Structure 1
Amino acid sequence: MLPFRVVDRVKFIVERQLVKGAGFQLMVVGIFIGLISLIGGLLVVPQGGDFADPGSAVWWAFLRLTDPGYLGDDVGTWQRIVSTLLTISGYVVFMGTLVAILTRWLIAKMADLERGLTPVTLKNHVVVLGWTSQTLPLLCELLSSSGRMRRFLEKHDTQKLNLVVLSEEASAAQVHELRNEPGIGRRSRQVILRSGSAIQPDALHRVACLDASAVIVPSAAYEAGSLITSDVETVKALLSIAAQARQYQAPLPFVVAEIQDIRKLPVVERAYPGAVEVVAGNATISRLMVQNVLHPGLSEIYNELLTAGQGNEIYVRGGESIAGLSLGELASERPGVIVLGLLRCFDRDCDQGCEQGWDVRLAAPSETRIEAGDRVVMMARDYAETDADPKTTALPEISRGDARLSARENKLKGRRILLLGWNRRVPSLMAEFSSYGPGQPVLDIVSVVPISEREHALSRYFTGKPLESYSHIEADYMVEDELRRINPASYDTIILLSSDRLASGEEADARTMVGYLQLEDILTEAPGRPQLIMELSDPDNRDLLYGHQSEMLISPMILSHILAQVALRRELRVVLDELFTVGGAEIGFRDPDHYPLPASTDFHVLEKILAVEGEIALGVFRATADARGRHLMLNPPRRQRLELQPGDRLVVLCQS
């Protein structure tokens, strides 16, 4: 074994001290300053002169080392040489090294502060675990829900909304994104960023999950084939929150969690013993797509009801202040609101929320009396319209009986559907198609993903055959010749799926939009035109395709809206499940010729006529788009003349 050299040993010892931080670095520099002062003092001691003892000489050397102003006071050649060397060493060691250490320490400390490693000291705030494509729309939803948010803050006895976002690496770039987001802007000061992962218990403590009024867990994106999926991370985060609550003997916060695989629902509920609402992301978008296939044009209703911006939203109000009124009386007192129905707790004696679940009664008879424990479901343009206004004139009450169950038309039987693209949502989409019973569609799936990989994903999702008739086509729809060979014009519906295999939503949407434009070129040559449904991942791309003729679903915006609104009013989830699943109440379209409508009618008269059938009028879907490219006129003023034109359809809430 070779012996260690003395120089190497000294270097190693110095290095081990320097890596310990600014304090140890300053200590090492201080030792060097002391050694240089000692050597400089000993060099001038033999000269005698003003130095009564070695200590005075060392002090003389220390002054020259730390302050260059003493350089001109020295006499004698040797003393001036030593003084000059000490002054130069002072510039290098004392001033240069000291400033460098302090500067680096200050920069590191500022970087740590920017990363958000300090635990927040807040209560009754809202926590978002994860920075994903849904985070910015989610924050916009929370900040823009003024009326609903005001009620939420009153419920939790707090004055100001504070949002805390846990990101893998919080940075100034994310703060810049917040400030530039149209729906956030100056309100970005209400958003606090913290670094960490949702599967790390210390990161959950950093955002004060146990003191939050609501915790939202959006689903993160992972590469295909990864052993760590978003659902695994969600379950781990819930387990960590529950463990912290047991450790500190604190109550569990209300959690809204998004999962991708709806089959993990029992696992999530078992992992978290507190109040939790689970939103199945893949299943939700799949339901909307299938409903859109059944009812062409329904995407405009989704984009109004389930995204932020102008238009109507679904609100759920407590029955305490309106108990005793009937649904018909309530509707007449609120002329700007469409009363959709109510929720009634299965446990009628429960005073603290509803742990037994809700009985959803949409399109209920108008004489149904509201009880204090009920939740009334309304559709309005603004939350304030759901409150009584003594200045408004009440409408004549409309009498509506039990909804007549309409047999669902088997529109899927034999329908040829072309899926362009592949993502993790395809198995749940096929499961949604199969849930509509007999008479299933014929599905062709086109993707560059190998067929063996697709079949493997389907076999892991289904125990049997997913659909009676489906086939895989291995092709790239971005190549015009390959797309032409598929003959897209021969299909009834074409769905362009956003890829989850690309690095970002912008790249996925770029591919989807180029494929759509290429598809439009091919369809212009065909005599017939199939229904087109396009899924996008980036909300910023919604306005790029001006004058497009497809129906557009922006998945992150829809899921962000649902997560945010369920966090503010948890009963909303069961309402959306009822509206957008097979059976029960649903939004549909009707031909005006099927009703005895007068030649010129207003919306209030339309409500009366549809009430005879037990249906609720929601609006009109125009055959011709307006100047903004919109076909939908939802919840118009009651006395507004509708002036129905050939091809127009009525938007109704009915029971199927």
Structure 2
Amino acid sequence: MEEGGGAPAGSGGRWPWAQRAVYWFDNTLAGGTYVLVGWLVVACLSVVLPVSAVLVWTDGRAPASLSGKLAEVWRSTGQTLRLGGEVGPAPRIALSVLLALVTLLYVSTLVSLITTGISERLLALRRGRSPVLERRHAVVLGWSEQVFTVVSELVRANANQRRAAVAVLADRGKTEMQDALDAKVGPTGRTRLICRSGRLTDPDDLTRVGPATADSVIVLPRDSPSEDGEVVKTLLALRAAVGDDSGVRVVAAVRDDRYRLAATLAAGPDAAVLEIDDITARLVARAARQPGLSLVHQELLDFEGVEFYTVDEPALLGRPFGETLLAHASSCVVGLVRDGGALALNPSPDTVLGPGDRLVVIAEDDDTTVLSDVCAAVDPAVIVDRPPVTARPERILLLGWNRRATRIVTQLARYTPPGSVLDVVADGGKPTAAAVRSAAAEAAPSLAVLLRRGDPTRPETLDGVDAASYDSVIVLGPDHRPGHDEPDDRTLVTLLLLRAIERASGREIPVVTEMTDDRNRVLAPVSAGSDFIVSGKLVGLLMSQISQNRHLAGVFEELFSPDGNGLHLRPAGHYVRPGCETAFATVVESARRRGECAVGYRSAPDRRTGDDHGVRVNPAKTAVRRWTAHDEVIVLAAD
């Protein structure tokens, strides 16, 4: 007997009749289209014929003879099944059935063709293969952690536009992208969000989103530094798609500095290429020495609140730059864009504005930069000379190690006073130890770098280093590796331990935390107003700003440069007498006398309250407030 071929037990060697019938029916269905059509006819007739007969035999107007009733049954069946329903001689009935079948074949074929065409069109739309016919829209190429930040900021930037569009091209399904953006970005207002699928390195696929007619093109970085080569290929494909003479603003980002030059050459001379690791390292190092600085950058980088603009001001032609600082009541002047395109942030107060020069301002909108002299609000009597400042050595604790840590150490060595010490606590084994030794050699003699082996997520490790005794603490997560925990998971554990140390010691620890996902920032157990550097969001904000104004590429490059003018938080007592009541215009004038641009302040009483944690960028110059010794002034000045 064949294995598995026996009859069920207790059946006498025979299968049940119902089961055999089902088995036979299933086999007949496997016979193909003709068998399926035959069964469909049988099924229809088995219902239509009996019902038609019942209708005829119960109709009082039906013919009395059997032949007449059968003719009525046929007519009813024919009309129901659209078979003509003719009666009479057999040839006549046969011809009517033939015509009905031809009509049925034609109609069904036509319906099938229309249905297939509509289905293919809908499928093409769902796949995102149709071209985008837009002008002066924004194009986003790629899919990474920055896509949600970039799209959200572009939507905010277009809030006052009557008609705007953002087209996203990535190598994923259109529906998948649309659903993810709808969930993360939310309502887009007047901005239409268009998603298309395609290969980023194929010029034909790139033309699908209309880059040649776009106002700006943003090429997102990949999730791993090893994929920066794909960014370079995408930029090459973009140039092949739009040509070398296109005036489209191109903004791209890479993670590894080895690819920045190649990406810059591939993008063209007018493009802006950002390096994520370098920008992140510089901001982490600065925030470690100036707590609250990340909040200032956050305020200036997003499109909610104030941001940088370039404006024409013909009325100020021929006047020195120093006089422009008090020429606007509702905006802060911080630099110039020369007629030839050269940028000068915080130039000498004696620099004269020439024809074609544009002012770089911080304002809520470019149409709010209205001239209004506020010199009368200045009170020279409360302006003080800057007291001598003696730099003392600093002690900084670095918990964790990743590929950006070496850059952070290098930046700290540039800013910290001689004799400063950086203690590194990490458990990466020999590779980490070698990297720390290399960073220590590069930082010497300005900064002494010492390695303490240990796991920053273990309580005994942090208890052994006395974290509360340091001037500031930097928390870094490990580099992301497939199959391992997310870097932010370990960071959150370390922050929990630091929070416990704060409570036990009664001393607030200035903590600067680097994270990869902005959603984890709200989970972090740290004091209000702590510094968070979310590299993905930071670069997304930068790319969005530059895509709207090409001059801002130079502004941000200098702000994050180790040698240019940067943002600083300095004691308010260095500018005006503590305890006095005076307008912000007085602070601006005091900073001007030192060759600085004052752009805001941080209120000491409000550091733990509100979403801004006391940070006020571009306050009204005529607003009067009482200045305390613990307030800080935000200035743009040389390092």
Instruction: Please report the TM-score for the alignment, with normalisation by the length of structure 1.
Output: 0.71
Match in the other structure for 1:26: none
Q: CA deviation at 1:297?
A: 1.9
Match of 2:358 in 1: 375
Q: Give 1:431 deviation, angstroms.
A: 3.7
The partner residue of 1:136 within 137, 145, 148 is 148
* C-alpha displacement of 1:323: 3.8
Instruction: Give the secondary-structure state (helix, strand or coil) at the position aligned to 1:190.
Output: strand
Identity in percent: 25
Q: CA deviation at 1:407?
A: 11
Preserved CA contact (<8 Å) 2:398 2:422: yes
Alignment match of 2:233 (pick from 224, 231, 236): 236
Q: What corresponds to 1:169 in structure 2?
A: 172
- Tell me the distance in 2 between the aligned counterparts of 1:71 and 1:457: 89
Quick one: structure 1 residues 394 and 486, their matched pair in 2 at CA, closer, same or farther if it must change by over 3 Å?
closer
Residue 451 of structure 1 pairs with residue 429 of structure 2: yes
Equivalent position SS for 2:623 = coil
How many Å separate the matches in 1 of 2:386 and 2:337? 19
Q: Distance in 2 between matches of 1:456 and 1:416?
A: 20
Amino acid at match of 2:412: F
Whether the aligned pair in 2 keeps the contact of 1:478 and 1:515 (CA below 8 Å) is yes
Indicate whether 1:493 and 2:472 are aligned: yes
What is the CA–CA distance in structure 2 between the aligned matches of 1:416 and 1:463, rounded to whole Å?
15
Q: Deviation per CA, 1:440-491, whole angstroms, max 9, x where unpaired? A: 854444455x4344468789xx899443444555644333344434543343
Distance 2:239 2:429 in 1: 41
Residue 342 of structure 1 deviates from its aligned partner by: 1.2
Equivalent AA in structure 2 for residue 433 of structure 1: L
Q: What is the alpha-carbon distance in structure 2 between the residues aligned to residue 269 and residue 419 of structure 1?
A: 34
- The question of 1:627 aligning with 2:609 is answered yes
Deviations 1:425-447 (A, max 9, x none): 33333343345598485444445
Residue by residue over 1:496-545, the C-alpha shift from the partner in whole angstroms, topping out at 9 and shown as x without a partner, is 23455167999544443343123211232236544201123333344445
Q: How does 1:359-508 map to 2 (within 5 A)?
A: 359-365=343-349, 367-388=350-371, 395-396=375-376, 415-420=395-400, 422-436=401-415, 439=418, 442-447=421-426, 450-454=428-432, 465-468=441-444, 469-470=448-449, 475-501=454-480, 507-508=486-487
Structure 1 CA distance, aligned partners of 2:118 and 2:299? 49
SS at match of 1:334: coil
Q: How does 1:33-72 map to 2 (within 5 A)?
A: none
CA distance in 1, matches of 2:501, 2:79: 81
Tell me the distance in 1 between the aligned counterparts of 2:440 and 2:421: 17
Report the counterpart of residue 537 of structure 1 in structure 2. 516
Q: Measure, in 2, the Cα distance between the counterparts of 1:376 and 1:621.
A: 25
Distance 2:133 2:434 in 1: 48
8 Å contact kept, 1:496–1:534: yes
Query: Whole-Å Cα distance in 2 between the matches of residues 267 and 326 of structure 1?
Result: 40
Aligned mates of 1:101, 1:451 — CA distance in 2: 66
Q: 1:253 to 1:517 in 2, by over 3 A?
A: same
CA spacing shift, 1:534–1:256, aligned 2, 3 Å: same
Q: 2:331 aligns with which of 327, 337, 347?
A: 337
Q: Which residue does 2:13 correspond to in 1?
A: none
The aligned amino acid for 2:294 is S
Write the distance in 2 (CA, Å) between the matches of 1:104 and 1:548: 61
Question: Over residues 158-195 of structure 1, what are the superposed CA-to-partner deviations in whole Å (9 max), with x where a residue is unaligned?
Answer: x732211112213334323433445x514386111011
Task: State how far apart, in whole Å, the 1-side matches of 2:191 and 2:598 are.
Answer: 42
Cα distance in 2, alignment partners of residues 471 and 195 from structure 1: 50
Q: Are residues 497 and 212 of structure 1, via their aligned partners in 2, closer, same or farther at CA, if it must alter by over 3 Å?
A: same
Asked if the contact 2:137/2:167 (under 8 Å) is kept, the reply is yes
Q: CA, structure 1 residues 250+505, in 2 after alignment: closer, same or farther (shift >3 Å)?
A: farther
Name the SS of the counterpart of 2:463 in structure 1: helix
| Gap change, CA 1:508 and 1:320, over 3 Å in 2 | farther
Cross-structure match for 1:649: 632
Q: CA deviation at 1:336?
A: 0.4
2 CA distance for matches of 1:619 and 1:505? 43
The structure-2 alpha-carbon separation of the partners of 1:512 and 1:106, relative to structure 1 and needing over 3 Å to count, comes to: farther
**Pairing 1:285–2:280 present:** yes
Question: Is contact 1:210-1:241 (8 Å) kept?
Answer: no
- Unaligned runs of at least 5 residues, structure 1: 1-28, 41-63, 76-90, 151-158
Q: Which residue does 1:299 correspond to in 2?
A: 294
Paired residue for 1:518, among 497, 504, 507?
497
* Equivalenced residues, count: 553
Q: Does 1:313 align with 2:307?
A: yes
Larger Rg: 2
Paired AA for residue 626 in structure 2:
E
Contact kept, 8 Å, 1:332 with 1:396, in 2: the verdict is: no
CA distance in 2, matches of 1:185, 1:106: 29
- Distance in 2 of aligned mates of 1:508 and 1:463: 22
Q: Secondary structure at the match of 1:128?
A: strand
Is the contact made by 2:496 and 2:525 (CA closer than 8 Å) also made in structure 1?
no
Q: Is 1:610–2:591 an aligned residue pair?
A: yes
Alignment of 1:168-247 (within 5 A): 168-181=171-184, 184-187=186-189, 190-222=192-224, 228-229=226-227, 231-245=228-242
TM-score normalised by L of structure 2? 0.73
CA distance, structure 2, for counterparts of residue 636 and residue 453 of structure 1: 48
* Structure 1 residues 65 and 537: CA distance shift in structure 2, 3 A: farther
Q: Secondary structure at the match of 2:356?
A: coil
Once the two structures are TM-superposed, the CA of residue 607 in structure 1 deviates from its matched residue by 2.2
| Residue-by-residue CA offset, 1:538-582 (whole Å, 9 max, x unaligned) | 333444458724322232232112111111111212222222322
Aligned match of 1:43: none
Q: Deviations over 1:398-428 (max 9, x none)?
A: 899xxx99999766x56333133x4443333
Whole-angstrom CA distance in 1 between matches of 2:355 and 2:593: 28
Distance in 2 of aligned mates of 1:620 and 1:383? 22
Q: Separation in 1 of the partners of 2:257 and 2:590?
A: 40
Whichever residue aligns with residue 220 of structure 1, its letter is R
1:523 and 1:482 mapped to 2: Cα distance?
15
One-letter code aligned to 2:143 = W
Distance 2:37 2:179 in 1: 48
Q: Distance in 2 between matches of 1:408 and 1:262?
A: 36
2:532 — aligned with what?
552
| Alignment-mate amino acid for residue 496 of structure 1 | V
Residue 560 of structure 2 is matched in structure 1 by 580
Deviations 1:5-25 (A, max 9, x none): xxxxxxxxxxxxxxxxxxxxx
- Cα gap change, 1:466 to 1:329, in 2 (>3 Å): closer
Conservation of the 8 A alpha-carbon contact between 2:409 and 2:439: no
